[in-house]
Chains A and B, each alone.
Chain A
Amino acid sequence: MEDTTPTNSSERWIDIDKLLTRNGNLVGPGFEPGPELRDFLQQDCKVLCIGAGGLGCEILKDLALSGFVNIDVIDMDTIDVSNLNRQFLFRLQDVGKPKAVVAAERINARVPGANVTAHFGRIEDMPLQFYQEFTVIVLGLDSLEARRYMNSIACSLLEFDEEGNPDMSTIKPLVDGGTEGFKGHARVILPGVTPCFECTLWLFPPQTKFPLCTLAETPRTPAHCIEYAHLILWSQQRSHEEFDTDDEEHMQWVYSNALARAKQYGIEGVTFQLTQGVVKNIIPAIASTNAIVSAACVLEALKLITMCSTGLNNYMMYTGSQGIYTHTVAYERDPQCPVCSAGVEVVAPADTTLQQVIDLMLAHPQLGKMLAHPSVSYGSKQLYARGIYEEDSRPNLAKPVRELLEGDEPAALLTVNDKKLSASLRVRLRLKEPQQ
């Protein structure tokens, strides 16, 4: 039958027009109602969705149905049968195919006018210029590491003026969602304005790692028995093989050995299901939580772009296991954040050499953890470079650093790079005269 859907008529988008073309007492600061907002949304705006899984499918659906047109999605995974309880764009026949590709196809088929572009690959493999094109980036990720990476990308795009204030035009907004079971969160990250992911890293509890002696000598829980088989027994008996969580035989081997150990110590509760959960670090997940958190994220993206209402400031926790409960907190930036601040301050005597500055950074409680073999630049000048220019720049190490800097500004903004880092860090070097 002929598709008679009006693709961009005001009738089709009447719900959005009501939000964007009328004033009200709950609109955001600087809101200017008018048809230009939807035009911008549908023509000039580019939004990137990171992840096409539990959150990603929902985010893509909400973005497309909210009027966003130019949508990119990136995911390195292929579809698994255990995804099907919540990643509703996928079917049993799709198992094995790339999530981003299938998700994009389905959205484009269901929402006429939607233009979703799929990227089957890792976020680490995309150049910085790729991320720069987007008006806003929405994260549907399932790991701390991936969030830290995207956070560092967005923050590295941030520029500061001479006073150390963020240049608003370089802010790349992130909206980050996360869920587990009935719980979830949505947060807005405006680098330079709200806390970035690194600023609030302390929010996350340390990841479960059992002490080796517990695994080896004194197991008490089923998880101890499982990790014993997975980490200790495997390396003793099958060290020549790389353990593969997708290999049924490997998983069964770990399970039966875990069971034997549990019997030995009188520990109950080792099941194959638990074995999978522990070894694969499975996150329990249901569709409804993903739907709610994703919708909250898309609403934030919409508000950021159109100012149709005040945005979330800046972190919302949600739980739905007992009725419904949420809590919104305005976390504060860490002014010394190595990722999003104008620079972590390093103070040194006036005659310090460049080598000594580098040593100070390596000894710094925060910076030291993030660096191993740093390169340092000052504006466009490479002061010391690892790699092929190392020999050329080596003489600078012995020089007093003030000779390498311009004028006598109170604090010099250095850019530090390192293989350990996903994006460069800023360091503000303050040189003190001996009398002070």
Chain B
Amino acid sequence: MSPARADELKDEEAAVYDRQLRVWGVEVQRKLTAARVLLVGFGKLAAEATKNITLAGVGHVTLLDDTPAAQLAGHNFLVTPAAAGEHTAAQAAAATLQAMNPLVKVSAAAGPAAAAAASADALAGQDLVIATGAMPLGQLQQLNAAARRAGASFMAGGASGPGGWFFVDLRQHSYVPKGSAGADSDKVTLQYSALAEVLAPPAAPLPATTHAMYYVLLVCAALEQQLQRPLTAADLPAAQQQLQQLAAASPQLAAAQQQLAAHLAGAAEFAPVAAVLGGIIANNVVAAVSGSGAPLNNMLFYSLLDGRAIVETQPAGDGAGQPGKAAGGAAAGSQQQQQQQAHEVVID
């Protein structure tokens, strides 16, 4: 990669982006400027993620959520009480974000987040769709499929009480690992799974290390599918029953039962948790858009209670055609190894 030449950017960009150009260089910055990202659903997690990607210089950011801004005012730092007025959350937040970085374009799309999957207008031309509101899993899966049809990658996540989760679908994604020479032979190519595949009932018993939250998501997806409607707190007994069947042998059962109850009760987003996940989302957006550096593959579960963020590849594959399989380059073998094992990081 040629050394960064700040004079190839506009003067204002070079001045404002100076500190981050020294991190990732002009080429990555150019790709960020050219990127178009749609955020579906707006809350604390979306606020954090959009703040980070707007500051990073993603050229076109669109927000989609017609919840009245007044409902968020005062406990979402992008929606000031003074500005809430008659606006939607998307409009109020977009205004704050636009002021935060006049070098990019931040706008609000019309309509409810729930209709995003059906909104060809909103999806057209987007490189990446990110859903962070409390959407039912069935809707998220539809949105993922619609994004793929529109030629976009997809990310989804949620912050709930002390924890949260994050999922990435970059379809077929090639990247150059940092520190490599950058030749074509160094490139790594990953095949990602869509959320529907990730949340489909597992064909085989899950490994003992599988995170409790993954069980929760599987159970909720299956029950939603059965009942053909979003779940409520009243569905807890039925959900617990399914969990018992799915996770009886798992050491994570007790943790999963607790998290399932919290998930169905709808715990609110906690700001510092949203901030951690929002930072991780932004780093993945930069990796996804620029093709530089390894993106998440493909799920992350975080809890402030034990300070851990667990990375897993789901479904865990074991052979050809399985998701997460790397292709190309000497890095392939070790890459695959890494993908199959959950690895653990601690963010206290």
Contact B74 A282 (CB under 8 A): no
Which one of A196-204, A313-321, A374-382 is at the interface? Answer: A313-321
CB of A400 within 8 Å of the partner chain: no
Contact A325 B23 (CB under 8 A): no
Nearest 7 A/B pairs, CB to CB: A312-B348, A65-B271, A295-B275, A284-B22, A5-B74, A292-B279, A26-B305
Contact B23 A3 (CB under 8 A): no
With known contacts A24-B305, A112-B81, A277-B22, A321–B268 Cβ distance under 8 A:
no
CB of A15 within 8 Å of the partner chain: yes
CB of B229 within 8 Å of the partner chain: no
Contact A285 B305 (CB under 8 A): no
Which one of A80-88, A360-368, A405-413 is at the interface? Answer: A80-88
What residues of chain B lie closer than 8 Å to A66, measured between beta carbons? Answer: 270-272
CB of A58 within 8 Å of the partner chain: yes
Total interface residues on B, using CB and 8 Å?
Answer: 72
With known contacts A15-B269, A292-B279, A328-B348, A312–B23 Cβ distance under 8 A:
no
| Chain A: minimal CB distance from B72 (Å) | 9
Partner of B99, one of A91, A109, A277, A295: A91
With known contacts A273-B6, A322-B293, A324-B309, A295–B279 Cβ distance under 8 A:
yes
What residues of chain A lie closer than 8 Å to B231, measured between beta carbons? Answer: none
Q: Bound state CA distance, A92 and B275, in angstroms?
A: 24
Contact A287 B270 (CB under 8 A): no
CB of B119 within 8 Å of the partner chain: no
Contact B300 A324 (CB under 8 A): yes
Contact B22 A88 (CB under 8 A): no
Query: Can you identify 16 A-B contacts, CB atoms within 8 angstroms?
Result: A3-B74, A5-B73, A15-B271, A61-B275, A62-B271, A66-B271, A66-B272, A85-B19, A88-B100, A111-B74, A291-B275, A291-B278, A316-B347, A321-B178, A323-B296, A324-B296
Contact B346 A328 (CB under 8 A): yes
B50-70 CB contact bits vs A (8 Å, 1 = yes)?
011001110000000000001
Q: Determine which residue in A24, A86, A88, A327 has the highest number of CB atoms from chain B within 10 A of its CB, and name it.
A: A88
| Chain B: minimal CB distance from A222 (Å) | 10
CB of A144 within 8 Å of the partner chain: no
Contact B75 A65 (CB under 8 A): yes
Q: Bound state CA distance, A322 and B348, in angstroms?
A: 19
CB of B112 within 8 Å of the partner chain: no
Contact B52 A288 (CB under 8 A): yes
CB of B304 within 8 Å of the partner chain: yes
With known contacts A1-B85, A91-B99, A291-B278, A19–B270 Cβ distance under 8 A:
yes
Contact A322 B294 (CB under 8 A): yes
Contact A111 B75 (CB under 8 A): yes
CB of B320 within 8 Å of the partner chain: no
What residues of chain A lie closer than 8 Å to B269, measured between beta carbons? Answer: 15
Which one of B10-18, B146-154, B220-228, B239-247 is at the interface? Answer: B10-18
Extra contacts, 20 of them, besides A62-B271, A81-B16, A291-B278 (Cβ < 8 A), are: A7-B74, A15-B267, A26-B306, A64-B77, A66-B272, A82-B19, A85-B19, A181-B22, A273-B4, A273-B18, A282-B18, A291-B279, A295-B275, A295-B276, A316-B348, A320-B279, A320-B280, A320-B283, A322-B178, A325-B345
CB of B183 within 8 Å of the partner chain: no
What residues of chain A lie closer than 8 Å to B311, measured between beta carbons? Answer: 323-324
Contact A15 B82 (CB under 8 A): no
